[in-house]
Amino acid sequence: MSGTPDTTAGPTAPPAESGATLGGASGGHRRGHRRFWSARRVPAGLLALAVLVIAGWFLYDIAAVRAHRPGMSWRHELARQLAERQLDDVWVLTGAAVAAALGLWLLVLALTPGLRSVLTMHRAHPDVRAGLDRDAAAMVLRDRALEVAGVQSVRVAVKRRRTDVRAVSHFRDLDDVRKDLTAVLEGAIRGLGLARPSPLTLRVRRPGRKGR
């Protein structure tokens, strides 16, 4: 956005219901909107392991003491620390802050879908749930955009609310290039088969002095 000619097509939004025009029954259409939910295997595994180790350790030591074996010293030390540290102690406050933050993080993990890189695809068949990788979608759009005459380079970012395309055109009239690009890209976005295609934001400019 230097002094180079810059044409910006505002959100050339396909109508909001464009998902329904993608050749599907509107009954399956609503269900197709559901996002993919991550199984959260890694955090679950780590948490299970941590609780297992801590509980196992306590269990072992308590059972050992019950069986009249000497207990490990860490339990005495832990009891002493718990009974001596006051709540306004720096370490207690630090630990509490860490625990609260960790707890909040676990809650966020539990309640959010995750898998942000997967875009839900339109559900053509009731048995089939499909997701398209964001990178793959961007790559397809990039390839289609490069097929338009006059386009030198393209950068595509497929986001949730809009699809950002920044193209650099080295010949032809910018308005023509923009018109062609809009048509090609809207076709390509439809071809992605997404449940909720994000509207296109297109920006075309001449190669600037800054390389691109």
Partner 1 sequence: MTVNTTVNRVLLALAGLVLFALGGSVLAIGLGAPAPSWWLHDGRNDVLLDDSERTRWRDEGWWWPVVIAALAVVVLLCLWWLVSVLRRRRMAEIVVDTGDGDVAVLRGRALEHALAEEANRQDGVAEARVLLTGRRGTPRTRVVLLLEPHVDPGTALDTFTAGPLTHARTSAGLPELPSEVRLRAVKHRPERVT
205 belongs to the binding site for partner 1 (CB under 8 A) = no
Half-sphere exposure of residue 63: CA atoms within 13 angstroms, side-chain side: 6
Which one of the spans 12-20, 41-49, 168-176, 202-210 is the region binding partner 1 (CB under 8 A)? 41-49
Q: What part of residues 181-200 is at the interface with partner 1 (CB under 8 A)?
A: 188, 190-194
H or E element at residue 173: none
Residue whose tokens read 């997404």: 194
Q: What part of residues 65-104 is at the interface with partner 1 (CB under 8 A)?
A: 66, 79, 81-89, 92-93, 95-104
Q: Quick one: residue 2, left, alpha or beta (phi over 0 = left, psi -120 to 50 = alpha)?
A: beta
64 belongs to the binding site for partner 1 (CB under 8 A) = no
Q: How far is the CB of 14 from partner 1 (least distance, A)?
A: 15
The burial of 119, by beta-carbon neighbours within 10 Å (0-12 exposed, 13-18 middle, 19 or more buried), is given as buried
User: Which residues have C-beta within 8 Å of that of residue 182, sequence separation ≥ 6?
Assistant: 9, 12, 200, 202
Q: What part of residues 107-166 is at the interface with partner 1 (CB under 8 A)?
A: 107-111, 118, 121-122, 124-125, 127-133, 135-137, 139-140, 142-143, 146-147, 149, 153-154
Q: What part of residues 6-25 is at the interface with partner 1 (CB under 8 A)?
A: 22
